[in-house]
Amino acid sequence: MIHLLENLAIAVAQAVNGGQVQAARQVATELSSLETLPTWLPKTDFRFYLGLAQFYGNRFEAAEATLSSLTYDSFSAAEAHWILRRILSKHLTEENANFVRSQMFEHEQQIARLYPYSPIVQDVADEQTNQREVGLDSHYGLLVLPTIDIGRLYDWQTLVTVGDLYYEQNLFEQAADAYHWNIQVRDPNQWFQNGIDSFWMKIADCYEQKGEPTLAARYLTKSFALPLTTSQISDISARLKTLLAQPAPKQATPVSQPDALKLQQIGDRLFEMEMFDEAVRAYRLAEQQGADMRLMIASVKEAKEVSINKWYISSYFVILKK
């Protein structure tokens, strides 16, 4: 299976860089012929890699059928919905514009549910507002409008720093979350670009340190969906083989006492980006180390309340316009 994933990464790179599709078609054929899957790769994840090979092989109908079968428990469901949206955009004409755009919007909604820090969330909210402003009744099963503007203050580099600070203190699960946020907040097209692989590797390392090698392997495998270099493919493959060769879960690194000051710094950075709930969680961790965070937590809650009130006021004026 690892060999097939290596071929998938090569095919993706060729299709992206040179427009060659034959390699992707070959990988899709090989993946389709598999009768059994390794225990570390759930069927929901496998379907994403098969659909990806079909997509880059220009087998769009097959890719659409495969990717549409993914469920929410797939690690790549959000990315699958973005590819499905891209496939729909290829069929967009003046005659079918309304229908196709409504289908594309449905995929955006699914991405918003799966990746709550994506800029897609704000796009979905804006579209909902636009529909209300023109008096349209929704028939898409729309999300509830978010209580705050989402994605406008996020900075992916700051989130990497937050992840690094958590990692330094052996808070691996929190670090993995921050590294994942850093991926989510980018433009969805960047989810498929070279360079994101380093962050999937960071997330995988967090779960390896946490003593969960199988989970680490699933995250590491996401790198194969990117246009990698030959060297990158070799490095990721070697690391994946090492993970899967472990006879038993590795003992998690003992957790030392976190630094309350660093946790406060994390909270401050999250607060600046208006990630209110995440900031409170960081401040609560600092409290557990003896820091007095009462004023900071109160400030966060007050700021969140102000954002909510602004949203309600703007919504009220939208209603008055009708």
Q: What is the pLDDT of residues 72-120, one digit of tens each?
A: 889 999 999 999 999 999 988 888 888 999 899 999 999 999 999 998 9
pLDDT tier, 316 (very low <50, low <70, confident <90, very high otherwise): very low
Specify if 140 maps to a domain.
Answer: no
Output 9 or 144, whichever has higher pLDDT. 9
Question: What does DSSP assign to residue 224?
Answer: G
Same domain for 51 and 120, yes or no, is yes
- 260 and 220, same domain (yes or no): yes
Task: Name which residue leads in pLDDT, 246 or 309.
Answer: 246
At 115, phi and psi to the nearest 5?
-120, 80
99 shares its domain with 165: no
Does some domain include residue 313?
Answer: no
314 part of a folded domain = no
Residue 270 in domain: yes
| Sign, CA torsion 231/237/241/242 | positive
Same domain? For 164 and 300 the reply is yes
Q: What is the pLDDT of residues 141-190, one digit of tens each?
A: 444 444 445 446 789 999 999 999 999 999 999 999 999 999 999 999 99
Clarify whether residues 8 and 116 are in a common domain.
Answer: yes
pLDDT confidence band for 253 (50 / 70 / 90): low
60 and 97 housed in the same domain: yes
State pLDDT tens for residues 197-222: 999 999 999 999 999 999 999 999 99
| Domain carrying residue 182 | 156-304
Residue 126: the pLDDT is: 76
Residues 192, 113 share a domain: no
pLDDT at 292: 94
Report the C-alpha gap between 127 and 120 in whole angstroms: 10
Q: Which pLDDT does position 308 carry in this prediction?
A: 63
Say if 80 falls within a structural domain: yes
In this structure, the answer to whether residues 114 and 228 fall within a common structural domain is no
Shared domain for 24 and 118, answered yes or no, is yes
% of the chain beyond a pLDDT of 90: 69
Candidate from 15-24, 58-67, 264-273 with smallest mean pLDDT = 15-24
**Cα(100)–Cα(2) distance, rounded to whole angstroms?**
37
CATH for 182: 1.25.40.10
Question: Closest by alpha carbon to 98, among 46, 48, 152, 139?
Answer: 139
Residues 117 and 187 in one domain: no
- Shared domain for 108 and 227, answered yes or no, is no
Q: Same domain, yes or no, for 123 and 15?
A: yes
Task: Compare 297 and 252 and report the one with higher pLDDT.
Answer: 297
pLDDT surpasses 90 at 295: yes
Taking alpha carbons only, the member of 105, 280, 86, 101 closest to residue 188 is 86
Q: What is the pLDDT of residue 305?
A: 83
Write the pLDDT tens digit of every residue in 55-74: 999 999 999 999 999 988 89
Query: How many domains are there within the chain?
Result: 2
Q: Is residue 137 part of a domain?
A: no
Residue 138 lies in a domain: no
CA distance 282 to 291: 11
The pLDDT tens digits for 130-143 are 766 665 444 444 44
